[in-house]
Structure 1
Amino acid sequence: MHLIISDVMPALCPFLTLVCLPVIILLVLLYVFREVLGSCPPCRSNKRLDGKTVIITGGNAGIGKETAIDLARRGARVILGCRSAERAQEAVRDIIAKTGNSKVVFYILDLADLDSVRQFAATVLEKESRLHILINNAGIGKAAVLIPGSTTKQGFDLTFGTNYLGPFLLTYLLLDLLRSSAPSQIINVSSHMHWFCFRQLNFNSETKNGVRYPYLTGYEISKLGNVLHARELAKRLQNTGVRANSLHPGMVETEIWTPLKKKYPAWMYNFLMSIIRMFGLNSTEGAQTTIYVSVDEGAEEYNGRYFAKCTLSKENRLALDDSTCALLWDHSMKMCDLK
């Protein structure tokens, strides 16, 4: 028997190495994937928001809509910023039906068009006397940019313009209303993907291949911008009663993945979505950190910080650089023709 085992083991070792080791590595990676990107405890706060006004961009679907439902249940007046009037109307009806709160409205907003952002802000300033929470939730993922080099109406990279520059301008235009409504807050929905920016931002303003500021492109940079924006806002809004924070919602199964259907074969898309469903969050779970930062007393003492899983989290080291925060602010002002 000893001889048989001795003869068989050398033959089995390569097999075990080739088969078992990759499986073990895959399981470890999936566990890390789940813990870092795909798990989140629920927000436990029972705080009411009666008499408060909230704006949620992209509030007609995904985590934006789930956030709207939760805050409407707490009694807030909820304003959705949406590109499609038809989808927005449907979302408003659904939120009212689920919460019994009739104080839910929408105004048209396309973050990829700075003119639309200005019109949305003008509508808010005309119709609303108070604003207590601004949630910059809407955005697009890498999958949404089917054509490399796609730009916003004003010529900026489509992802950077939609995820960062549009929210920057919207926030700036509503700052006076937020100040006059204090205590109030600004919440930027970012992503842990901002950790994958390793070099200082390049603020070269030349136009290259039809893209203004051609080195400020892509999802990771746009999400780093959300974190930098919140930190700079916190610094500029000290002693005003307005705080600003950013957050990672988790890896969430939402419509942000839908454009992949046009990029990849059906089997590949379905496989990817099955992984996301298995190890990620649904929209309700993905909304929990946004809700936590909005209402939980534990978050109120923090300003300019980054959250994940309903608790404080670590930012990319680049986001802790005050000079980078200030530079991005100054260039953003120029991009939006504010100075």
Structure 2
Amino acid sequence: MTPWAIALVVLAVPIGILLLSLLLFGPIYRALTRKCSENVRLDGKTVVVTGASAGLGKATALELAKRGARVIMGCRNLTKAQPVADDIISKSGNTNVVVRHLELSDFASVRKFAAQINAEEEALHILINNAGIAGTKNKEVASCGHELVLATNHYGHFLLTHLLMGKLKAGTSSRVINVSSALHADGQLDIEDLNFDRRRYRFEHAYSQSKLANVLFTKELARRLKGSGVVTNVLHPGSVNTEVLRRPNQALSVFLFGRFISPIIFRTETQGAQTQLYLALSEEGGCESGCYYVNCRKARSSRESCDSDLAKKLWEVSCKNVHLEPAEMIPDSRLDSSSSENPRDASQRRRIGHSDFT
């Protein structure tokens, strides 16, 4: 054999083994996906799903519409989103599905979206902060002045949750569900350099930082909402073949992986939506708060994500960076005398609230 032939054989063997492993892994991984089996109805309930024009958001919006909810889709591209809404209406038979413009990296857009909901809706029962982007090849700065990935994945949802809290508290056993990722465990939060002004920017670092922020936000939010009747949880949807991985402006390695590899080995979008559906519909999702879920089960998040001091620092910095007014801020329950409700009474009230989801 010639040296070239030998080299080809040497390369072909490990590549072949890798491809075979991927082909075997994919079906097994998808088969292990738990399905949300909750058969509750959401008639009379209002739900907001961000990023609902594709991927997990679209799959989630469809399932909630099938259960009778009024579904408000927060989407940045209305031209793309309206046909998706029409498709959801057709498949669910529920005409109460609407699209509203929402660009999470633009705080003015977030405020306009929230103002419209506050003006039109009597109450909000479920807020699913689902939208997100993966890291871009090069650092980009959003219109709000902050690094684009953190602005979209964290700051926008942080601001939106605050602005909609009044309507959430007006609902019965309302829920805030944040979509994070297992990659939060790789995240490093430098409170003094969240925009990567001093640190070297890498797309994977920007993404994992934003996902860590999602978990820290959830845990601090749960602490502040204790006794309020609103619960919040965060989840990892699993490895899912979504459009987030297939956008051409992503880092090349992410784009190629999303285009050619993820369809073989990852969960479908419907499978990936099961955990957020579980948190939206199950009794456990209405009683627990501040927990991290994977595959419809409670799981342990990273050590850094459980750092309460870091969570408080991120909260304070986020309030400043999204320009929250004092009246818009969610108060600290430990400093609010109205939060002195007996924990047993609060738990019972949340359980009673769940009975409305029938």
- Please confirm whether the aligned pair reaches a TM-score higher than 0.5, indicating the same fold: yes
Of 216, 221, 243, 1:228 maps to 216
Q: CA deviation at 1:85?
A: 1.5
- Verify the 8 A CA contact 1:39 1:281 in the aligned structure 2: no
1:296 is matched with which residue? 282
Are the equivalent residues in 1 in contact too, given 2:175–2:286 (CA < 8 A)? Answer: no
1:252 partner amino acid: V
Give the distance between the partners of 1:36 and 1:164, measured in 2 at CA. Answer: 29
Which residue matches 1:189? Answer: 179
Counterpart of 1:12 in structure 2 is: none
Q: How far, CA to CA, are the matches of 2:310 and 2:105 in structure 1?
A: 24
**TM-score, normalized by length of structure 2?**
0.79
Q: 3-state DSSP class of the match of 1:40?
A: coil
> Is contact 1:78-1:105 (8 Å) kept?
yes
1:177 is matched with 167
Change (3 A) 1:19 1:187: same
Q: Tell me the CA shift for residue 34 of structure 1.
A: 8.1
Which residue in 2 is equivalent to 1:334?
Answer: 320
Name the residue aligned to 1:43: 36
Shift of 1:204: 1.3
Looking at structure 2, the residues matched to 63 and 206 of structure 1 have their Cα atoms a distance apart, in angstroms, of: 27
1:120/1:322 CA distance change after superposition, 3 Å: same
Asked whether the equivalents of residues 107 and 120 of structure 1 are also in contact (C-alpha less than 8 Å), the reply is: yes
Amino acid in structure 2 at the alignment position of 1:117: V
SS at match of 1:218: helix
Out of 101, 115, 121, the position equivalent to 1:108 is: 101
The TM-score normalised by the length of structure 1 is 0.83
1:100 partner amino acid: G
**Which residue of the other structure, out of 309, 328, 343, is the alignment partner of 1:323?**
309
Q: Distance in 1 between matches of 2:194 and 2:13?
A: 52
1:222 is paired with a residue of what secondary structure?
Answer: helix
Match of 2:73 among 80, 105, 122: 80
Q: Could you report, residue by residue, the CA deviation over 1:169-191 in whole angstroms, capped at 9, with x for unpaired residues? A: 00011111111213101000111
Indicate the percent of aligned positions where both proteins have the same amino acid.
40
Paired residue type of 2:76: R
On the 8 A contact 1:57/1:137 being kept in 2, the answer is yes
- The one-letter code of the counterpart of 2:33 is C
Contact kept, 8 Å, 1:165 with 1:332, in 2: the verdict is yes
Query: Following TM superposition, by how much is the alpha carbon of 1:300 offset from its aligned partner in structure 2, in angstroms?
Result: 2.8
Q: Matched residues in 2 for 1:31 and 1:232: separation?
A: 40
Deviation readout 1:233-292 (Å, 9 max, x if unpaired):
110000011001111111111211222477549xx9666534212210111111111111
Cα distance in 1 for partners of 2:79, 2:11 equals 54
Q: Are the counterparts in 1 of residues 48 and 72 from structure 2 also a CA contact under 8 Å?
A: yes
Pick aligned residue for 1:238 from 226, 234, 254 = 226
Rounded to whole Å, the distance in 1 between the matches of 2:84 and 2:184 is 30
1:252 matched to 2:240? The reply is: yes
1:204-241 CA deviation, whole Å, 9 max, x = no partner? 16987599xx9xx7100100111111111110000011
Which of 133, 139, 164 in structure 2 is aligned with 1:140? 133
Q: Indicate conservation of the 8 Å contact 2:122/2:170, yes or no.
A: no
Change (3 A) 1:68 1:297: same
SS at structure 1 position matched to 2:71: strand
Letter in structure 2 aligned against 1:59: A
Aligned with 2:84: secondary structure? Answer: helix
Q: 3-state SS of the aligned residue for 1:247?
A: strand
* Structure 2 residue identity aligned to 1:228: L
1:167 alignment partner in structure 2: 157
User: Are positions 1:154 and 2:147 aligned together?
Assistant: no
Equivalent in the alignment of 1:126:
119
Which of 64, 76, 84 aligns to 2:57? It is 64
Aligned residue number for residue 353 of structure 2: none
Deviation digits for residues 149-169 of structure 1, max 9, x if unmatched?
A: 201101111001000100000
**2-structure distance, mates of 1:97, 1:286:** 22
Measure the CA separation in 2 of the matches of 1:69 and 1:272.
Answer: 23
What number of residue pairs does the alignment pair up? 314
Q: Distance in 2 between matches of 1:206 and 1:95?
A: 38
Residue 53 of structure 1 corresponds to 46
Gaps of 5+ in 1: 1-16
* Deviation for aligned residue 1:298: 3.3
The residue that corresponds to 2:272 in the other structure is: 286
Deviation (angstroms), 1:203: 1.3
Q: Is the 8 A contact 1:37 1:250 kept in 2?
A: no
**Unpaired segments ≥5 residues, structure 2:** 1-9, 327-358
Could you tell me which amino acid in structure 1 is paired with residue 299 of structure 2? S
